[in-house]
Amino acid sequence: MTRTQTHLVLLSTYALVAALVASRHAAAQDAKQPYATMAPIDQYLMDRDAEIALARTAAPESISRDAEVVVLGRHGFETSVKGKNGFVCIVERSWTSAADADFWNPKVRTPICYNAAAAHSLLPRNIKRTELILAGRTQAQVDEAIVAAVDKKELPAMEPGAMCYMMSKQGYGGDTVEHWPSHVMFFYSQTDPAIWGANLPGSPVLAMSDDHEHLTEFAISVQRWSDGTESR
């Protein structure tokens, strides 16, 4: 089974120890799930100023203050604030940042701040996914379109050094994982997690590889939230 979304939870207040993973290539969702279909678009939208402020909480102020900020509109993400340092802050929604049970959950708000390399190579996949979702495609159709675009190189491979900050105290990960611990992530075109010692007993590094999107993600917890307060 291919896995493309890594969802992080704390087993204790001191350690990031597990990844909750949702497959984008799994069977259709159970109709009995509380979020079986897409809600009206207005439920996914936010006040623009509030969304900008929430997006900036993803990274320390020294980074996010000069970052570009994109916000969700009715047809996809739009640039709301021009940046100066190459970073892009965004509040991602359920179809890119939640487990399958929360795929259509309109309450999901996940602040993320991508560095320039990730903004050029990973973010376009999530931007494209959002455009397809808002155009009325199903989850399965979107999965197929993204995989095909990666294979055809219509969407880029990961640039060296691609990473993001996910250090916000705020946001909502969904009913499955309400709030993620403070962490950073690193992205590679498909590689062996063993090179980082990921997923081994005692290792602080978690990793997940997606054979379809040719993507490997590494996650490492950090001890502070973006505002500098202790996260443990």
In a domain, 232, yes or no: no
In a domain, 208, yes or no: yes
pLDDT at 132: 97
In a domain, 226, yes or no: no
The parent domain of residue 53 ranges over 5-221
Q: In terms of Cα–Cα distance, which of 225, 223, 226, 220 is closest to 185?
A: 220
- Torsions phi, psi for 142 (to 5 deg): -65, -45
pLDDT at 99: 84
User: Across the 232 residues of the chain, what is the mean pLDDT of every consecutive 10-residue run?
Assistant: 34 32 38 81 98 98 98 97 98 93 95 98 97 96 96 96 97 88 94 94 92 94 95 78
- Torsions phi, psi for 92 (to 5 deg): -80, 155
- Cα–Cα distance for residue pair 53/35, rounded to 1 Å: 27
- Torsions phi, psi for 21 (to 5 deg): -115, 135
In a domain, 118, yes or no: yes
pLDDT at 177: 82
In a domain, 231, yes or no: no
- Number of domain units in the chain: 1
In a domain, 101, yes or no: yes
Q: What is the DSSP string of the chain?
A: ----EEEEEEEETTEEEEEEEE-TTSPPPPTTSTT-SPPPGGGT---HHHHHHHHHTTS-HHHHTTSEEEEEETTEEEEEE--SSS-EEEEE-HHHHS-GGGTT-TT-BEEEEE-HHHHHHTHHHHHHHHHHHHTT--HHHHHHHHHHHHHTTSSPPPPTT-EEEE--S--B--SSSSSPPSEEEEEEES--GGGGTTTSTT-SEEEEEETTTTEEEEEEE-SB-TTS-B--
pLDDT at 113: 98
In a domain, 74, yes or no: yes
In a domain, 139, yes or no: yes
CA atoms within 13 A on the CB side of 199: 13
pLDDT at 32: 57
